[in-house]
Amino acid sequence: MNEKCRFSKTGWQGIVADVPEDWCLTTVSGDDKTGYFRIDSTSTLLLETKWSKSVGKVDLHAKLEAYLEDLKKKAKKKKQSFEYKIKSKDAESLNFTWRSDRKAQGRLWKCDQCNRIMIAQLSGAPGDDIANMASLIMPTYKDHSDDGWRIWGLYGLEAEVPPDYILEKHKLMSGYIQLIFRKQNDKIIIERWGLANTVLRNNPLRDWYMERAIYDLKAYKFKMENILFEEEQGLQITGNRSSIKEHFKSLHELAMFKKPSHKLDGYVWLCEETNKIFSIQTMHSKKENRINEILERIVCHQNE
Amino acid sequence: MSRLQNIVSQYVPFVRKKSTHTREDVLRSKPTRNPVLEWERTSDVEIKLRIPQRNDYIGRMLCKVFHAPSHKEILLDEVGSDVWEICDGTNNFEAIVNAMCKKHKITRRECEVSVGMYLKMLGERKLLGFQLGGRKKK
């Protein structure tokens, strides 16, 4: 592997690993309790991660054996040989390797803080240098952050959301990423658009964003101010729920003993370094304004 | 048998052989513009393609009856025009993806997917063809 290879954080549901920058998240499924994601390299290497919530004591060795035996069964069906080895690192973590038509190196561990059992494995073709790459990637795995904020890393976007916010909806399209998180009535929307030079050729950022956001923000009366983000053009959005219908919604939320999210805050900015447009919006109650903390933790580009 | 199958498969879809091209074959393939087409840059960012209508007896007759123009025109957007310009038969798919990644600063995966879909669409409309290099002998 090229020593100059740059790494970026990639992962899903707060589980991230540092992988080479050109590796991409290709499959995601599940939620924070049970789920799976897969990251593909540009060649034959691929990194897979599986997790499941588990409270109480778990026999990790039995769990790993069951997983590897299942793989063995699948290999047997394809009439392929399958060999595996398990090495115990400590009571909370087991390393394993297997070899069939592909080969893999991985780790199974239980995190007592987030109560999740994790299996991570890097697999590749028989000729691939897996050991070297696994030694670079496996130690970088993080299944939770120290302060409870959940890290999300995909296609070069690194963001963190406050604890208790659950992913409600996501769109991963070529040139557009949208992540929507919800905690009761509060909402965080993180968006990123590619090809900024093309989309902003005939439109200033303000007009372009208004065209996109007018439908989503129609429930709010808001103002948009031009600001500068480290010499890059940006917009600050602040607003409140506007119409009578929306105020009735707030009353309904109050009646359900939930704080109404009648405030809107947001930032939109152009990152010329990566040629992308970023947007963060929060719809929140008066006390739950986390927009500046989210903004501080978002990485739009890595400095050289 | 194979020749007969080729002829029949042009008209009967389920007889068609499934494509056996690997990812490497696709990355090595060289998209080439249909030489029948005329194209020109209409501005700094856009390219206009002129596709001639069929020139046989039936085509000419239909054109006369329906007062159809002799050419169909397609306007490509900025990114589409960039891709079209590189598809000159000398650059393979991988080189095109690399060039687009560099120019528009998009991740390789995003670029591969969108350029692939775009070239596939141009290929289906017969605006482009793909030169597949022979496999290397082992």
Note the pLDDT tens digit of each residue in A204-256.
999 999 988 888 888 888 899 999 877 788 999 999 887 777 777 767 777 77
Q: Residue B114 and residue A174: Cβ atoms within 8 Å?
A: yes
Check pLDDT > 70 for residue A303. Answer: no
C-beta separation of B108 from B116 below 8 A: no
Contacts with A175 from chain B: Cβ below 8 Å: 106, 110, 114
Q: Residue A195 and residue B104: Cβ atoms within 8 Å?
A: yes
Beta bridge partners of A110: A117
Q: Residue B107 and residue A22: Cβ atoms within 8 Å?
A: yes
pLDDT for residue B137: 46
Distance of residue A61 Cα from the nearest chain B Cα, in angstroms: 36
Whether the CB of A302 is below 8 Å from some CB of chain B: the reply is: no
Q: DSSP code of B54?
A: P
pLDDT for residue B10: 75
Check pLDDT > 70 for residue A2. Answer: no
Whether the CB of A34 is below 8 Å from some CB of chain B: the reply is: no
Distance, CA of A116 to CA of A272 (rounded, Å): 39
The Cα-based distances of A195 to A83, A108, B20, B105, B137 in angstroms read 47, 39, 33, 8, 41
Q: Residue B110 and residue A174: Cβ atoms within 8 Å?
A: yes
Note the pLDDT tens digit of each residue in B40-87.
998 888 999 999 888 888 888 888 898 888 888 999 999 999 999 999
- Reading the block at residue A11, the tokens are 């992962």
pLDDT for residue B91: 93
- Reading the block at residue A268, the tokens are 């939109």
* Pick from A194, A198, A274: CB nearest B110: A194
Whether the CB of A153 is below 8 Å from some CB of chain B: the reply is: no
Q: Residue A155 and residue B105: Cβ atoms within 8 Å?
A: no
Look at A62 and A92; give whichever has higher pLDDT.
A62
Check pLDDT > 50 for residue A125. Answer: yes
